Amino acid sequence: MRKLVILGTGFAMATKCFNTCFFLELEDGSLFLTDAGGGNGILRQLEVTNFDYNKCHHMFVTHGHTDHVLGVVWIIRKVADLMNKGKYDGKFHIYCHDVVKDMLEKMSAMTLKKKDFARVGTDIILQEVKDGESIELPQFKLTSFDIMSTKAKQFGYELKFADGLKFTCLGDEP
């Protein structure tokens, strides 16, 4: 059964709930994360859902606003730490557009411990996606697209599963 787990539904300045982000649990048990909120509260949100990092090898980041991208630095730190402890197998892919990729590279370089940052680019892959580009993953085909936001450059995506089911993320614009 495919399951959608909402980690937060709040706007940027929310204090009584977490910022908008979620993950999908697929039939093979793998997890696909989208955005990560604005800080290390993401670690708690994932903990209360019994999130198994080892089952998550792909995530998508829609745009570079604080409430979506800062938590990604914590995800990178967490996954890098697990890798360094021999508790994470394989690579972790973060799909995002060029602006977000640049932000994540810079923020990780500036804030992470050297041995954690060493994983970025080798085992933690910041993978740039272009408007309209498709990527074939074992569980689905991911097609990213520019939602034409007038604020920050923002990409959504469509996941197409082998059985025809489609799941679309439109980002956070009204």
For residues 75 and 142, give the distance between their C-alpha atoms in angstroms, rounded to a whole number: 21
Q: Which of 57, 68 has the CB closer to Zn ion?
A: 68
* Opening angle at CA 87, ends 62 and 45, nearest 5: 45
Q: Is 25 in the site for Zn ion (CB under 5 A)?
A: no
Contacts (CB under 5 A) with Zn ion, residues 56-75: 65
Binding-site member from 25, 35, 116, 172 for Zn ion (CB under 5 A): 172
Q: Which of 49, 149 has the CB closer to Zn ion?
A: 149
* Cβ within 8 Å of residue 148, ≥6 positions away: none
Q: Which of 25, 172 has the CB closer to Zn ion?
A: 172
Q: Is 119 in the site for Zn ion (CB under 5 A)?
A: no
For residues 5 and 22, give the distance between their C-alpha atoms in angstroms, rounded to a whole number: 6
Q: Is 35 in the site for Zn ion (CB under 5 A)?
A: no
